[in-house]
Amino acid sequence: MKAVILAGGRGKRLRPITDSIPKPLVEVKGKPIIAWQIEWFKSHGVNEFIICVGYLKEKIINYLGDGGEYGVRIGYVVEKKPLGTGGAIKNAEVFLKNENGFFVVNGDIITTIDPKKLTKLGSKYIGAIALVQLPSPYGIVEFDENLTVKSFREKPLLRDYWINAGVYYFKPDIFHYLPIEGDIERTAFPNLANLGLLKAVRYKGVFWRSIDTMKDLDEISKLLGEKGVAPTST
């Protein structure tokens, strides 16, 4: 089974780091984001990768090569211009259309979820999307009926709300719904949802972080700990 890593974006909110380094090569605890992703997938039995590259593509290709250093096989699909997440997957169709199914991950995610849970689609669905509980961007204050402050909780999970984890599994039929240009979240996903063809798979008690800003980068480095081991979310 193959996994697609969407690694073509500019990572504007991580400037000035990404002025000279593509976002997937930004290091977290001394290891590039994309290396975390390859090792995570490999631990779940995925050994073949398609990397969708665009911005500063040569640096990613030179760093990863054919994947031999990681014990995997890596191929590349190049975006000549930004295509968005949906267009980037569509651009890789020739390498994926004969697969029974394949994984896709955004190039800024570090997680411990088990991607194999996404593959249990049945005949009804053509894709599955991983969901994780929404982490609050702020700490919260707890108080009693008399408005006496009782405690403070730092950025807890909001357990009644679920967000797109940026990890997917698709059957090849997905290519009929993907745009040539545009983000999958704004094009194919709403269409698939209206047709009832997209399955939600919920993950609890897992580690998941998206790295969008310098603050995210600092926080995830602390969360991964001294040994670079991701803790279980609480």
pLDDT above 60: residue 232: no
Closest by CA to 166, choosing from 78, 220, 89, is 89
The answer to whether residue 101 is domain-embedded is: yes
**Selected catalytic residue, list 12, 97, 120, 155:** 155
- Domain extent at residue 81: 2-223
- Total-model pTM: 0.86
The residue type at 113: I
The answer to whether residue 230 is domain-embedded is: no
The answer to whether residue 116 is domain-embedded is: yes
Within a 10 A sphere around the Cβ of 109, how many other Cβ atoms?
21
Query: pLDDT value at position 78?
Result: 94
The answer to whether residue 228 is domain-embedded is: no
The answer to whether residue 149 is domain-embedded is: yes
In this structure, the strands spanning 109-111 and 208-210 are: antiparallel
**Catalytic residue status for 80:** no
Query: pLDDT value at position 120?
Result: 92
The answer to whether residue 210 is domain-embedded is: yes
Name residue, tokens 């998206």. Answer: 210
* 87 against 135, higher pLDDT: 87
Cα 213 from chain centre:
15
Q: What total number of domains does the chain contain? A: 1
The answer to whether residue 234 is domain-embedded is: no
The answer to whether residue 9 is domain-embedded is: yes
Q: Give the model's confidence band at 30: pLDDT under 50 very low, under 70 low, under 90 confident, else very high.
A: confident
Q: Which helix (H) or strand (E) holds 3?
A: strand 2-7
* CATH number for the domain that contains residue 116: 3.90.550.10
Query: pLDDT value at position 229?
Result: 53
Q: How far apart are CA 194 and CA 42, in angstroms?
A: 34
